[in-house]
Amino acid sequence: MKNINEVCDFVVFRLTGEGNESLSHLKLQKILFYIQSWHLAFDKQPLFDGKFQAWIHGPVNRTIYNRFKDSKYMYSSITMSDIQSDLTFPSLDQSDRDHINAVLETYAQYSDVQLEKMTHDEKPWIDARDGFQPYERCEVEINESTMQSYYAARING
């Protein structure tokens, strides 16, 4: 299993390294959620360590949130200067990179607000927030089995 910080850095590198993409903390969180969800759907196992919680603005990984919380707000830009690794991403093999790139190809075109709305319309986030009001704080973990089955069903039909 990969380290979420290395996957995060790879995403930041891919989206901001060429200078043509704006990446907010909110958008980064949603993209990481989709990377994990689709990996669960295709490979039946997580790509990286770390769970997602069903926060008001969609899925959030606490490790990544804590990494940026002192310097970045929800809509603050994440840039190349925020990368912690040496840009070789040694634990990510070609299959991992291909998976991440495929998810980016699909989801990077959407804004942070659009991605938030998309996650709000999907079963994994909805189920985790069951019993909570729309603007009520929630730190319930999104169930990986639900993520796997929901996105696998989208593959099949």
Whether 70 is covered by a domain: the verdict is yes
Whether 73 is covered by a domain: the verdict is yes
Q: Which pLDDT score is estimated for 19?
A: 66
Q: Which pLDDT score is estimated for 74?
A: 86
**How far is the C-alpha of 157 from the C-alpha of 155, rounded, in Å?**
6
Please list the pLDDT of the chain residue by residue as tens digits (157 residues): 999 999 999 999 999 986 667 799 999 999 999 999 999 999 999 999 999 999 999 999 999 999 999 888 888 899 998 898 888 999 999 999 999 999 999 999 999 999 999 999 999 999 999 999 999 999 999 999 999 999 999 997 6
Q: Given its phi and psi angles, is residue 92 left (phi above 0), alpha (psi -120 to 50 degrees) or beta?
A: beta
Whether 156 is covered by a domain: the verdict is no
The domain of 63 spans: 4-151
Q: Which pLDDT score is estimated for 20?
A: 62
- Check if the beta carbon of residue 46 is closer than 8 Å to that of residue 36: yes
* The token pair that represents 7 in the structure block: 């996957």
Whether 61 is covered by a domain: the verdict is yes
Q: Which pLDDT score is estimated for 9?
A: 96
Whether 139 is covered by a domain: the verdict is yes
Sequence-ordered alpha helix ranges (H) in the chain = 4-16, 25-43, 62-68, 94-107, 112-120, 123-128, 144-155
Whether 42 is covered by a domain: the verdict is yes
Element at 53 (helix H, strand E):
strand 53-55
Quick one: CA dihedral 133, 143, 149, 89, positive or negative?
Answer: positive
The model's pTM is: 0.96
Domains in the chain, number: 1
Quick one: CA dihedral 122, 47, 145, 78, positive or negative?
Answer: negative
Whether 143 is covered by a domain: the verdict is yes
